[in-house]
Structure 1
Amino acid sequence: MRIALRILAGVVLLAVIGYGVLVYLTRPLSKEAVTEKIEKRLTKLVEKSESLSSALLTIHSKQTGYSEQFAVGTKNRRSMESARVDSPYHSASVGKTMNAVVYGMLVDEGKIGYDDKITEWLGVDILKGLFVVDGADYADQVTMRQLLSHTSGVGDYFEGPVRQGKPMLDLIVQNPEHSFEPEELIAFTRDNQEAVGKPGQQFYYSDTGYVLLGLILEAIERKPYAQILQDRIFMPLGMKDSYLMSVQDKPGDILAVYAGDVDLSDQKALSVDWAGGGVVTTMSDLLSFMMALEDGALLSDGVYSQMKDFAHRYEKGIYYGMGLMHFDFSELSFLLGSMSDVYGGVGATGTFVLVDPRKETYYIANFGSLDFAEKSIEELIRIRMIYDRLDVE
Structure 2
Amino acid sequence: MVVIQEEPVVQSLGFEQKVDKIMEENMFSGSILLVEDNKVKIAKGYNMANSETMQLNGPDTVFQIGSLTKAFTAAAIMQLQEMGKLNINDSVQKYIEDYPYENVTLYQLLTHTAGIPNLTAFPDFISTMDIPVCVSENIAKFLNKPLEFEPGSQFAYSNSGYILLGAVIENVSGQSYSQFIEDHIMSPLGMGNK
TM range (shorter): 0.7 to 0.9
| TM superposition shift of 1:61 | 4.4
Aligned to 2:139: 186
Cα shift at 1:181: 1.6
The one-letter amino acid of 2:23's match is L
**TM superposition score normalised by structure 1:** 0.44
Cα deviation for residue 238 of structure 1 reads: 2.0
Query: What secondary structure does 1:89 align onto?
Result: coil
Structure-1 residue corresponding to 2:74: 100
| Structure 2: distance between partners of 1:56 and 1:88 | 9
Indicate conservation of the 8 Å contact 1:146/1:199, yes or no.
yes
2:183 corresponds to 1:226: no
TM-score (norm 2): 0.84
Segments of structure 2 that go 5 or more residues without pairing to the other structure are: none
Residue 79 of structure 1 aligns to a residue in which SS? coil
Instruction: Give the count of matched residue pairs.
Output: 191
**Alignment correspondent of 2:126:** 169
Q: What's the CA shift string for 1:170-229, capped at 9, x where partnerless?
A: 333xxx4x21222222222246x5422111011111111001001101111001111111
1:170 alignment partner, SS class: helix
Alpha-carbon displacement from aligned partner over 1:113-164 (angstroms, at most 9, x marks no partner): 221222111111xx23xxxxxxxxxx11111111111111101101x2x4xx
Match of 1:112 in 2: 86
Cα separation, partners in 2 of 1:223 and 1:86, compared to 1, 3 Å:
same
Structure 1 consecutive aligned stretches of length 4 or more whose deviation exceeds 6 Å: none
Amino acid at match of 1:38: V
Matched, 1:55 2:30: yes
Deviation at 1:236, TM superposition (A): 1.6
The alignment status of 1:201 with 2:153, answered yes or no, reads yes
C-alpha distance 151-221 of structure 1, shift in aligned 2 (>3 A):
same
String of CA shifts for 1:2-31, please: whole Å, max 9, x gaps: xxxxx9xxxxxxxxxxxxxx9x7489968x
Kindly tell me: are residues 184 and 209 of structure 1, through their superposed partners in 2, closer, same or farther at Cα, counting changes over 3 Å? Answer: same
Q: Distance in 1 between matches of 2:8 and 2:137?
A: 51
Cα deviation digits, residues 87-122 of structure 1 (max 9, x gap): 111110001101111112122233322212221111
Identity %: 24
1:144 to 87, 99, 106: 106
Change (3 A) 1:26 1:140: farther
Unaligned runs of 5+ in 1: 1-6, 8-21, 48-53, 129-138, 243-393
Return closer, same or farther for 1:116/1:26 CA change in 2, 3 Å cut-off. Answer: farther
Quick one: distance in 1 between partners of 2:148 and 2:25?
41
Query: 2:27, 2:173 → 1: CA distance?
Result: 42
Q: Secondary structure at the match of 2:34?
A: strand
**2:165 corresponds to:** 213
Q: Aligned partners of 2:186 and 2:104: how far apart in 1?
A: 30
**How far apart, CA to CA, are the structure 2 residues paired with 1:212 and 1:73?**
37
Q: Does 1:70 align with 2:44?
A: yes
